[in-house]
Structure 1
Amino acid sequence: MLRRRSQTPADSPVPADDPKPQGKGRPTPKRRDAEGRRRQPVTAPRDRKEAYRAMRAKQAAERAKAREGMLRGDERYFPARDRGPVKKFARDWVDSRRLPSQYFLPFSLVILLVTWIPMGDARTQAMIYGYVLTIAWPVMMVAVLGTSIFVAQRVKKQAAEKFPNESVKGVGFYAAMRALQIRKLRFPPPQVLPGGKPVPPKK
């Protein structure tokens, strides 16, 4: 019997101009090898001191970034007590006005200097001391107390009218405490000038 011949030899070469690709020409890499090449080398601290220094540097950078954000008025970096439209309204309300209570600390410093620094003879010094204690200091305290009550009530009322869906709990006290601070020492920094105009950006 005649053996049937195969029409195409098993080891027939592939033509050079064959349009179909014959594989990638390289073995497929394993998954763990590919992931290993994608990973970046991580240098672990050599000792505890180096790890502590790296942690301190990272924390310092984060604090500097947060402070810059607060100076810009970015509420993402504000403490929880300073966030929200109600608190911003209270800050702007206080910062847009010149209030007697904001001069309380400078006035107190002047009083201390007047009572400590000798001025003239003992009789003159006693007279100045008496005027300070019986007139100047009580007048300033009444002005501060009256201003604080006025600010707290006015800010709370206006905030409730402007933000009916927001809680105004504690906003009066918040505004009164801010009104006691020297303007340059207020934090978050004022975003408006006395009169209501926005603070110009720093160059």
Structure 2
Amino acid sequence: MFRRTKSETATTVPAEPQAKPGGKGRPTPTRKEAEAARKATFKQPRNRKEAAAVRREKVRIERAKMQDAMRTGDDRYLPAAEKGPVRRFARDYVDARWSVMEFALPVLLVVSLVGVVFSAQFLWLAGAVNLLFLVMILAIAADWFLLTWGLKRAAARKFPNDPLKGLGFYAVRRTMQMRRWRMPKPMVKRGEKPS
């Protein structure tokens, strides 16, 4: 009389568990997750002094990455002024050529020292020093013009859609440094064509 038939039991589908009205709405974290979250709260700085130490450590790590990128040329960690394919092309263009500006400072320093030390003994030396200064300044101006003109032409051909503003001054600033002290380090040899 109160017996179930087999067809009734086969058709009944178990109901999906309903969320309790006052439940938390997410599964309970495992013990491993709970302990990791608890330990993470201990790692956070508790006062200003600890927060400053954490900040200093982060800055030190970023600076180390940037210094390494300056040596290797890794574009990801370079400063914003050095990033991008256009700037890399400009660096390669500068590093591949010989430049008067690169040697201007040492030459002018030697010439001025010679002029100061020996001009009292040799009167003609003062005139020669002044003439050499004038020649060096004219050579620097010509080198500056040829560098910026050639670089902008080559960059406009290679990167027609990229902005080239400030590229000439960037190249001149790099050229004024001696090759061994340039940062990022030169990636091409002299006479090699920039990529």
Does the CA-based 8 Å contact 2:66-2:79 persist in structure 1?
A: no
Whose Rg is larger?
1
Q: Which residue of 1 aligns with 2:78?
A: 78
Q: Give, in whole Å, the separation in 2 of the partners of 1:38 and 1:52.
A: 24
| Contact 1:70–1:188 (Cα < 8 Å) also in 2 | yes
In 2: Cα distance, 1:43 partner to 1:88 partner: 40
Secondary structure of the structure 2 residue equivalent to 1:159 = helix
Give the 3-state SS of the residue equivalent to 2:76 in structure 1.
Answer: helix
Match of residue 108 from structure 1:
108
Whether contact under 8 Å (2:82, 2:88) holds in the other structure is: yes
Contact 2:69–2:184 at 8 Å: present in 1 too?
no
| 1:39-74 deviation digits (Å, cap 9, x = unpaired) | 252245565444433432332222112110221101
Q: Which runs of 4+ in 1 moved over 6 A?
A: none
Hey, what does 1:129 align to over in structure 2?
Answer: 126
Amino acid at match of 1:196: E
In the other structure, the counterpart of 1:158 is 154
Matched, 1:31 2:28: yes
**TM-score normalized by the length of structure 2:** 0.72
Runs of 5+ unmatched residues, structure 1: 1-29, 199-203
| 1:169 lines up with 2:160 in the alignment | no
In structure 2, distance between residues paired with 1:170 and 1:66: 22
Count of residue pairs brought into register by the alignment: 165
Report the alpha carbon displacement of residue 159 of structure 1 after superposing the two structures with TM: 0.9
Partner Cα distance (1:45, 1:136) in 2:
63
8 A Cα contact 1:96 1:192, kept in partner: yes
Alignment check: 8 A CA contact 1:105 1:181 kept: no
Cα deviation for residue 191 of structure 1 reads 0.6
The amino acid of 1:108's aligned partner reads L
Root mean square deviation, CA, Å: 2.5
Shift of 1:160: 0.8
CA distance in 1, matches of 2:193, 2:157: 22
Counterpart of 2:17 in structure 1 is none
For residues 171 and 46 of structure 1, what CA distance do their matches in structure 2 show?
Answer: 47
Structure 1's 151 and 142: CA in aligned 2 closer, same or farther, altered over 3 A? Answer: same
TM-score relative to the length of structure 1: 0.70
**Structure 2 CA distance, aligned partners of 1:183 and 1:195?**
14
* 8 Å Cα contact 1:105-1:182 kept in structure 2: no
Taking every aligned residue pair, what percent have the same amino acid on both sides?
Answer: 39
- Offset of residue 83 of structure 1: 1.9
**Match of 2:53?**
53
1:152, 1:172 within 8 Å by CA — same for their partners in 2?
yes
Q: Distance in 1 between matches of 2:86 and 2:44?
A: 46
More helix by share: 2
